[in-house]
Structure 1
Amino acid sequence: MSGQRRGTAIAMTEGERDAFLRSQPLCRVATVGPSGRPHTSALWFVWDGTALWLNSLTRSQRWADLERDPRISVIVDDGGADFLRLRGIELQGSAEVVGEAPRKGAPLDELTVPERLFGEKYMGGEFRYDGRHGWLRVRPEKIASWDFGKLSQRT
């Protein structure tokens, strides 16, 4: 994975990054559409410390895009009108399908952690299969982060 070359003064530490990714409810996923233009959508996600896991409808434009071209960019951010509260992370890499698609619950050790994390984060503790979603794993090749609140901490 390549490191952040610019903006290091406002970059999150690894611990800050992990805590931020675990706490945020929504990400924005950009894929390459059939015409070569970007397609962006919002999605729930979980972070396991090394990979971002997306539980996506298998009959979506996003899924079709990633089957054709696995390149992906994901933004997770928060903040608002106050500049010094802006924080975020961009992850770039390739998405890979893990497990059956759509997922119906066949046992798979590789999905134990993301399904537990997803269930805890969004479903009151237990992951439920609906036969319409599948798992995409993004192992970031590049991560860039920003926390503009760090500017007020500089002397």
Structure 2
Amino acid sequence: MTPDEVDAFLAEQRTCRVATVGMNGPHNTPLWYVWHGGALWLTSLSRSQRWTDLQGDPRVAVVVDAGEDYAELRGVELRGNVEVVGEVPRTGEPVPELEGPERAMAERYMGGGTMVHDGRHAWLKLVPEKVTSWDFRKSGAARRQPAS
């Protein structure tokens, strides 16, 4: 995918899978996210295995993908280090850097309005160091018909 296609794809999809590594090995979990300002923004339970893993090792691999049939498969993998933004857990203290991501999260998953802070989640920001994408729709496989 081109960079513009990656941006559009990440803005369109709703769920990612976040892989972390901890003392017990790899851990992979689905999360909602927003793609905002060239970064992937995640809210995570601050008392979770994922959070514990990231406190020891901030490296993540995140996959967002779509498609059912082979010729429809497309996706993006983002790799890098996450950073915590705002208070842990998030209670709603003013954090200018979170205004855009919180507005986008509320619009995308909560029907608009303002972000609800439950005192259990905190924000993670991933500015990807490496982006890998694929789009099998471009491979010509969709145009090929099986022999009859």
TM-score between both structures, scaled by the size of structure 1: 0.88
Gaps of 5+ in 2: 144-148
Q: Which amino acid aligns with 1:46?
A: V
Provide the rounded CA distance (Å) in 1 between the counterparts of 2:104 and 2:23: 32
SS, match of residue 112 in structure 2: coil
Gaps of 5+ in 1: 1-11
Match of 1:101 in 2: 88
Provide the rounded CA distance (Å) in 2 between the counterparts of 1:30 and 1:104: 26
Match of 2:110 in 1: 123
Provide the rounded CA distance (Å) in 1 between the counterparts of 2:23 and 2:82: 16
Provide the rounded CA distance (Å) in 2 between the counterparts of 1:108 and 1:16: 30
Match of 2:10 in 1: 21
Please tell me the root mean square deviation across aligned C-alpha atoms, in Å.
Answer: 1.2
Identity %: 59
Provide the rounded CA distance (Å) in 1 between the counterparts of 2:39 and 2:63: 14
SS, match of residue 92 in structure 2: coil
Moved over 2 A (4+): none
Instruction: Determine if contact 1:75/1:89 at 8 Å carries over to the other structure.
Output: yes
The number of residue pairs the alignment matches comes to 141
- 1:40 partnered with 2:28: yes
SS, match of residue 65 in structure 1: helix
Provide the rounded CA distance (Å) in 2 between the counterparts of 1:118 and 1:34: 31
Q: Which amino acid aligns with 2:16?
A: C
Name the larger-Rg structure: 2
Q: Select 1:78's aligned residue among 62, 66, 71.
A: 66
Match of 1:5 in 2: none
Q: Which amino acid aligns with 1:13?
A: T
* Structure 1 residue 15, shift from structure 2 partner: 1.1
* Structure 1 residue 34, shift from structure 2 partner: 1.3
* Structure 1 residue 94, shift from structure 2 partner: 0.3
1:53-92 Cα deviation digits (max 9, x unpaired): 0010000100000001000000000111x11100000000
Provide the rounded CA distance (Å) in 1 between the counterparts of 2:12 and 2:50: 24
TM-score between both structures, scaled by the size of structure 2: 0.92
- 1:59 partnered with 2:27: no
